[in-house]
A = this chain, B = another copy of it.
Amino acid sequence: MPTRPLLELARLVEGRIVSGEPGDIHDANSLTNAGPGEITYAVDEKNLRRVKDSRAGACLIQEKFATHAELQDVTPVLVAVADPLDAFLKILAQYRPQPSRPELGISPAAHVDPTARVGKQTNIHPGAVLSAGVVVGDRCEIHPGVVLGAGARVGNDCVLHPHVVLYAGVEIQDRVIIHAGAVLGADGFGYRFRGGRFEKIPQLGTVLVDSDVEIGANTTIDRGAIGPTRVGAGTKLDNQVMIGHNCQLGRHNVFASQVGLAGSVTTGDYVRLAGQVGVADHIEIGQGATVGAKAGVLRNIPAGETQVGIPARPEKEEFRIVMATSRTPEMRQTLRAVEERLQRVEQQLASPPGAGS
């Protein structure tokens, strides 16, 4: 990576040298890992303490902390900027330029049905399969092994990483990123029990994914039974998330990895589910609600509420219960002691002092 003078980097991000001798910077790194000659950043006040321990060559800080007590006599040269993360990402891009997209077009080693349509400046990599009636927009990257089932539609500026599968009829809008191994549109888990066996109920719906969605590796989103399973615009799903059939996800949701939604769950906008959360079928989660890691959601959650626990309850209530139950062993001892004391009291009352013996 090319070495650059810190002064040049500071100019790039409209930064002001606060203290120290600006030298040369050869890379950008995290606050934990940055060493001499590397530039790093501290987002907020609670990171300032760690700047003291840092051996970094330079550190981007907020202008308002320029004279902060924690930052006296630190090793890194301090550069004050309006938004340290923003500035850092701009500088990072200097050292780690993203490769420009290859001009591949449709690889001869891809399997493209004659009825499929592919937009401009879109790359179809070797081993990708575009079935009959598929439509892919402009400037997309369709990586090796991606399989687009009959009639699947991909908008503009999408990236489908290796082995992503869209079953027949699945549609995604613009600027959608789907990571390797994700499967959209597999049959929902629907059976009826009759004559001692489970008969498959045909899953005839589809999956519709709105724009600016990102979907993690090996995540699965099942097709609806009759209508579509939907993912709202701007929603981000981490790896190994499971979305059951008929779910209707709002916009700008964030689900961490290994979250599982049973069928027909509805979420408002800005819903956040932490890792390994499970949600029962037909649950409604209101706008802006948050659910803590590993929670099991069995009842609807009102808008704006934070819930945790199995079963999930409002945060305060659950913490009160967890705190109390963690002291249950002591309570048992106390209760036993109380019983003994009470028994002594009862005996004393049954045979009052004056009664002799």
A: residues with CB less than 8 A from B are 28-30, 33, 85, 89, 92-93, 96, 98-99, 107, 109, 111, 125-127, 129, 143-145, 147, 150, 161-163, 165, 167-168, 177, 179-181, 183, 186-187, 189, 191-192, 196-198, 200-202, 204, 212, 214, 216-218, 220, 222, 225-227, 234, 236, 238-240, 242, 244, 246, 252, 254, 256-258, 260, 262, 275-276, 278, 280, 293-294, 296, 298, 310-311, 313, 320-329, 331-332, 334-335, 338-339, 341-342, 345-346, 348-349, 352-353
Which residues of chain B are within 8 angstroms of A220 by Cβ–Cβ distance? 181, 216-218, 239-240, 257
Does A181 lie within 8 Å of B165, measured CB to CB? Answer: yes
Docked pose: A324 CA to B311 CA in angstroms: 14
Q: Verify B275–A276 contact, CB threshold 8 A.
A: no
Beyond A125-B129, A276-B296, A338-B342, 7 extra complex contacts between A and B, CB < 8 Å = A98-B202, A189-B256, A189-B257, A200-B214, A260-B275, A293-B298, A341-B342
A127 in contact with B111 given A198-B254, A242-B240 (CB within 8 Å): yes
Closest to A196 in B: B252
Q: Which residues of B contact A310 (CB under 8 A)?
A: 294, 310
Write the nearest CB–CB distance from A148 to chain B, whole angstroms. Answer: 10
Give Cα A346 to B343, complex, Å. 11
Chain B residues with CB under 8 A of A177: 187, 200
Q: List 10 A-B contacts (CB under 8 A).
A: A92-B226, A96-B204, A111-B126, A111-B127, A186-B239, A280-B293, A321-B328, A321-B329, A324-B332, A327-B332
